[in-house]
Structure 1
Amino acid sequence: MEVIIKPEANDLAPVAADIVERLVLRKPAAVLGVATGSSPVGLYAELGRRVAAGRLSLAGCRAFMLDEYVGLAADHPQRYRNVIEQELVARTDLVSERVLGPDGLADDIPAACAAYEQAISDAGGVDLQILGVGSDGHIAFNEPSSSLGSRTRIKTLARQTRIDNARFFGGDVAQVPTHCLTQGVGTIMAARRVVLLADGEHKAEAVHQLVEGPVSAMWTATALQWHPQATVIVDEAAASRLALHDYYLDVYAEKPGWQE
């Protein structure tokens, strides 16, 4: 696992965008895994600036969303498909029709989840998965105690997750859906490259567990310790509990130029 520590939250997006840009320049038809929440917003804005400047194009890419709320109306502003349209598609030249998410309005939820897994497989798998991490250490909506081998399925949201996400619903926890469809930990681990962004002191314990804690279903992000190419990009506040903080700084500073 590569750990990159930057001074401030605003410093994370350019580092992550560099990784995306290098991939797309090498493989214009790359398959991207895209996340919602606050962590990747800066990255999407940076990708938009690079597309506008003519140094990057996502027009040949496909994208698969991590998750979707169950039961939110198609026009609800917090439906994750609408969030991705606003935060990523509208800012770049990524083609809307080439972005697919789990169907949170499906009549047959198990069939919809199986179809989503098949769609990812048919696309050749995800080349680069963008992730955030919850304060309780979850990735996507794989709440504590989720199977580390899980695939796309319905999940009940933890109380803490609904509290954390209430800020997107006017601060009213009661408006946050109780269920979601989410890629499983096993689905995420199948991506060829994973890039996780986290900032703020409230993420420090989750980052500590993710990077240095034991692999455990209680902190589902710790499964990424098994991933062959996972990069964790954090600010100093989120890195404040890392025991090997200074070592990670040294490793990144001395990283060979040829090493991706």
Structure 2
Amino acid sequence: MRVIRKSTYEEASMACAELIASQIRLKPDCKIGLATGSTPVGTYKALVDMYKAGSLDFSKVTSANLDEYRGLGGDHDQSYRYFMNTNLFDHVNIDKNKTYVPNGLEADAEKACTDYDKILESLGHLDIQLLGIGGDGHIGFNEPADAFCVNTQCIDLEEQTIKDNARLFFNGDMSAVPTQAYTMGIGYIMKSETVILMATGAGKKDIVEKAFCGPVTPYVPASILQLHPNVVVIGDEAAISDAVVAAAK
């Protein structure tokens, strides 16, 4: 594990963007796993700026997103497809036919999950997977459970997750947040060549420490990353404790 601790959110976002940009420059046809939420917004902005400055080319990049709300289509302004379009895809030269997000409008949960697994299997492993971390340790929408979720699953969202996402995307209205989501399984996340977990803000400090300094347990899903051979944890000083830095040595 490698830890990159910066003073501010902006600096951490730039560090994350530089890692992703380096991968794209090294391998223009790379495959990247993407995350949503407030944490990666700064990273996507920095990537867009690099593209506009002429230093980055997304034309051969393939992407796969971690998750999507069940019941929301890509044109819904609270869907994760819409989020990705608004924050990244609409502003760079990526081929949207090679940007994959679970189909939130597929009512048959088993089919939705199987279909996304087939897409992921066709891609093979991802070169980079970008992750955030939830307050309960979830990655993607893989919530705390009795076992690690291996394949794409339809997840019942925990109340805390619904509350967090209402704050981020639904103007605080918990009743408007879907209660289920389709999420890439931890098994596929772990196949990625490199995993980048980004965490910022004091509210993430305890869970980041628990994930990387505590036991590996499905009750803290992000803790499985301790077993990945190439994890980079990026964050600001508020989120990354000295104990996490020490754990990387």
TM-score, scaled relative to structure 1 = 0.91
Within the alignment, does 1:166 sit opposite 2:166 as a pair?
A: yes
Q: Separation in 2 of the partners of 1:122 and 1:109? A: 20
Q: Separation in 2 of the partners of 1:202 and 1:59? A: 37
Amino acid in structure 2 at the alignment position of 1:201: A
Match of residue 192 from structure 2? 191
Q: How does 1:79-94 map to 2 (within 5 A)?
A: 79-94=79-94
Match of residue 137 from structure 1? 137
Q: Which moved more, 1:36-45 or 1:120-129?
A: 120-129
Match of residue 155 from structure 2? 155
Q: How does 1:39-78 map to 2 (within 5 A)?
A: 39-78=39-78
Q: Separation in 1 of the partners of 2:12 and 2:51? A: 18
Shift of 1:124: 2.4
TM-score, scaled relative to structure 2 = 0.95
Shift of 1:87: 0.7
Shift of 1:92: 1.8
| Contact in 1 for aligned 2:132/2:140 (Cα 8 Å) | yes
| Contact in 1 for aligned 2:133/2:222 (Cα 8 Å) | yes
CA change 1:115–1:236 in 2 (3 A) is same
Shift of 1:108: 2.4
Q: Separation in 1 of the partners of 2:100 and 2:36? A: 13
Match of residue 20 from structure 1? 20
Q: Which moved more, 1:9-18 or 1:31-40?
A: 9-18
CA change 1:235–1:114 in 2 (3 A) is same
Match of residue 181 from structure 2? 180
Amino acid in structure 1 at the alignment position of 2:170: F
| Contact in 1 for aligned 2:156/2:181 (Cα 8 Å) | yes
SS of structure 1 residue aligned to 2:233: strand
Question: How big is the alpha-carbon RMSD for the aligned residues of Structure 1 and Structure 2?
Answer: 1.5
Where structure 1 has 5 or more consecutive residues not aligned to the other structure, the ranges are: 252-260
Within the alignment, does 1:231 sit opposite 2:206 as a pair?
A: no
Shift of 1:73: 4.2
Shift of 1:160: 0.3
Within the alignment, does 1:204 sit opposite 2:199 as a pair?
A: no
Q: Separation in 2 of the partners of 1:198 and 1:184? A: 20
1:100-157, Cα deviation, whole Å (9 max, x unpaired): 1111111322122112111112122211111100011110001111632521010000
Q: Separation in 2 of the partners of 1:140 and 1:247? A: 23
CA change 1:146–1:235 in 2 (3 A) is farther
Where structure 2 has 5 or more consecutive residues not aligned to the other structure, the ranges are: none
Q: Separation in 2 of the partners of 1:156 and 1:145? A: 11
Match of residue 8 from structure 2? 8
Q: Separation in 2 of the partners of 1:74 and 1:26? A: 31
Q: Separation in 2 of the partners of 1:139 and 1:231? A: 14
